[in-house]
Amino acid sequence: MTTLVIANCPTVTDSTLYTISSMLPDLRTLDACGCGKISDRGIHALAKKCNKLTILDLSSTKVTNKSVTTIAYHCYESLTSLKLSFCHSITDSCLYTVAQKCKKLRTLHLYGCKPLRHLLKLMEINPLLKIEKESLRY
C-alpha cells in the first residue's frame, strides 16, 4: 500500500502513526487532515520511517514547527506536496527549512494559518514552489 487516507478520523493518534510507520515504510501519500490528536511525536516517527512520502496532508492537526522541520529533514528527497492549512502553531522559520531542504516541493497549502510575513522569501528559496493561501501579503 502506498496511499492511505485517514482524514477526519477522531480515533487517530500518535500511536496510530507509530503503527503506520512501522507497517508501511514505503508509504507515498498520507492524508491525515482533521486528525486532531496527531502531534509532533507521531509525525517524528512517521517522517523518520516513511521518508519516501511525496504527498502529506496534516491540515487541522496539532503539528508545530518541530514536526515541519522533522518532515523537511527526513522526507527532503521525495516530498512534492505539503498541506498545513489551519495548523496554527507553524511559523515562517520552519517553512524556510522546508523550502530549503525539500527541493522537489511544488505545493504548500497554508490556508487558515496565522499571518506569515515572508512568503516571498520561500518562493525565492524554491522558485518552483506554489503557495496556496487565502491571500498573499508581502
In a domain, 119, yes or no: yes
User: Cα(21)–Cα(103) distance, rounded to whole angstroms?
Assistant: 23
| 74-99 per-position pLDDT tens digit | 999 999 999 999 998 998 899 999 99
In a domain, 138, yes or no: no
In a domain, 79, yes or no: yes
In a domain, 69, yes or no: yes
What's the average model confidence in pLDDT over 97-103? 95
How many independent structural domains does the chain possess?
1
In a domain, 137, yes or no: no
**Cβ atoms 97, 69 nearer than 8 A:** yes
C-alpha separations of 123 from 25, 50, 53, 130, 136 in Å: 31, 26, 22, 8, 12
Which grid coordinates are listed for 26?
514505503
In a domain, 40, yes or no: yes
| 9-26 per-position pLDDT tens digit | 999 999 999 999 999 999
Q: Residue 122 belongs to a domain with what CATH number?
A: 3.80.10.10
In a domain, 51, yes or no: yes
Structural domain containing residue 117: 3-132
| 108-134 per-position pLDDT tens digit | 999 998 777 778 888 889 999 999 987
In a domain, 66, yes or no: yes
Which grid coordinates are listed for 118?
515572508
